[in-house]
A = this chain, B = another copy of it.
Amino acid sequence: MQSKPTTIKEIARILNISPSSVSRGLHDHPSIGAVTREKIKQLAKSLNYEPNNAAILFQKGKTYTIGVILPELSEHFFSIAISAIEDEAIKKNYTVIFAQSHDNYEQEVKLVEKMKNQRVDGLLVSISKGTSKFDHFEKLNSFNIPVVFFDRIPPFKNVHYVACSLESATIKAVNYLLKKGHRSIGMINGPSTLYASEERKDGYMQAITFNRLKFDPSLVVNCDLTEEGTIDAANQFLNHKRKPTAIVAFNDYVALFLIKYFKKLNVINDFDIVSYANLPIISYLDNSPVASVEQYPYLQGQKAANILLDLIHSPNSENQAYYNTIVESDLIVNEVKE
């Protein structure tokens, strides 16, 4: 049933003209007369001609495709971000291909390789937790494939990136708690290897010292972000000599474990919790965090995509400055608990 798809060549053969004329006719090139042009278009339509993208891409050396590499698509943050990326890409007639590193460095390296072989026109990357070397991205330069990092970015400035300032967000969060009267504030931070942990800690310290309070390092505990780890951290706070009355949780998952544990111990009302937004419905919880740091995944994805498309379209000047875009994150205060 399915015969070979119609090609330009075939149209040319039937019309007894050259393939180049057909191509030009279909593209409204001025050097093709109106009558021929119409004949071409009509026949193309009636033969159900569809341009062979593979051929065009090959010919042009452009794929009109951007690659996205991220850790886990099933994480809400990333699913929103990539949703935004696709929305932007399609506006400019680009296609999105993606792959998940599953927070595995080796996999990430492979995927970068694969994306390069696919000759994507550009790459968006949110790096995996395990990534501390970045030379796998350097090859892309020689292939002239621009890279924009988003959210999970490398710890240096000479790359393009879009990210949230977790530091300033954390300052806002801690300030909010201080303003509410809390004087001992705990923080459940992530693994110390994570840049995001550093930012949170820095923000915490800044807010504390700015308010002329003394920074107590024992109130910032690292955590592996599992439920057990969270419980460990919680216990440290419960047994702390200056038991905190508020806790900044690394993210909503941690907050969730924390709330669950505190409810079990029936001490949930002794704490105000602030978290970083990952889960859309956490505010529906009965004892939801009093405030949440919104990281605007859609906006981040959008900006990253647009920067990448810019880079793709701009003639690659070597002396190009790097886009270092910070999306201000906001502290969203939940309605007063009844």
Which residues in A have some Cβ–Cβ distance to B below 8 Å?
1-3, 5, 48, 50-55, 57-58, 61, 63, 65, 72-74, 76, 78-80, 82-83, 86-87, 90, 95-100, 114, 116-119, 139, 141-144, 256, 259-260, 279-282, 284-286, 316, 318
Contact = CB atoms under 8 A, between A and B. Distances in A.
Secondary structure class of chain A's binding surface, majority of residues: mixed
A76 B57 CA distance: 34
B96 A97 contact: yes
A51 B80 CA distance: 33
Identify which of A65, A72, A282, A318 gathers the most chain B CB atoms within 10 Å of its CB.
Answer: A65
Given A82-B73, A282-B281, A284-B285, A142 B48 contact: yes
Given A118-B53, A143-B2, A73 B83 contact: yes
A108 to B, nearest CB: 12
A134 to B, nearest CB: 18
Contact of A1 (B52, B100, B119, B141): B141
A203 to B, nearest CB: 26
Given A5-B142, A139-B48, A96 B98 contact: yes
Given A54-B63, A284-B256, A114 B95 contact: yes
Nearest to A263: B286
Contacts of A79: 73-74, 76, 78-79
Contacts of A58: 52, 54-55, 57-58
